[in-house]
Amino acid sequence: MKSIVLIGFMGTGKSVVGRRLAQDLRFNFVDTDILIEKKTGKRISEIFSEEGGEKRFRLLEEEAVRTVVKQGRSVVSTGGGVVLSQANRDILREYGTVVWLKASPELILERVKKKPGTRPLLLKEDPLLSIKSLLKEREFFYQQAAFSVDTSQLGVEEVVLQVKKGVLAVEASTNPA
């Protein structure tokens, strides 16, 4: 099996699922947000609130993506905005099977509310509206994944299973025996 890259909006389960999937497959696990926090010694929310804000974060994110793909076979969880960069999209597609984790805007809001202050892009008067408009902007890029799993009604173990099945199916169709 090749590396697996999880993309998708905030609160769709990329980090939790990625960690569990990596354990299951005995693959290395990497999370681009954690890599950025380790490298800078700062929380993502701090980076966003400093000078350069999101622009600087996006550069750090591109650097994290370039680092990740040098590490050999892994499960990679990415930040929700990783797909905004064409370079990231190309590098990640080349590196592994890209899987889009989805959830409804309402559920995303429920999930991100549980970790207040960790999603600077949603610190808005109407976060549900922000989620919907960001989703609209990004949907086209998320759709470029090899396949998607809707995590709205599923537990972590079920999502892990669906991802594994999907990846095996994609690999079988691209490398017929």
Residues that bind ligand S3P (CB under 6 A): 10, 14-15, 33, 44, 79-81, 119-121
- The separation between CA 36 and the C-alpha centre of its own chain, rounded to angstroms, equals 14
Q: CB of 34 within 8 A of CB of 78?
A: no
Would you say 14 or 20 has its CB closer to ligand S3P?
Answer: 14
Smallest distance, ligand S3P to C-beta of residue 124, A: 13
Would you say 32 or 162 has its CB closer to ligand S3P?
Answer: 32
C-alpha distances (whole Å) from 25 to each of 1, 78, 124, 129 are 9, 18, 38, 37
Smallest distance, ligand S3P to C-beta of residue 31, A: 8
C-alpha distances (whole Å) from 123 to each of 6, 84, 117 are 24, 20, 7
Would you say 140 or 175 has its CB closer to ligand S3P?
Answer: 140
Smallest distance, ligand S3P to C-beta of residue 9, A: 6
Residue 135, both tokens = 């989703």
Would you say 25 or 35 has its CB closer to ligand S3P?
Answer: 35
Q: CB of 166 within 8 A of CB of 146?
A: yes
Residue nearest to ligand S3P (CB): 79
Smallest distance, ligand S3P to C-beta of residue 166, A: 20
Supply the DSSP symbol for 96. Answer: E
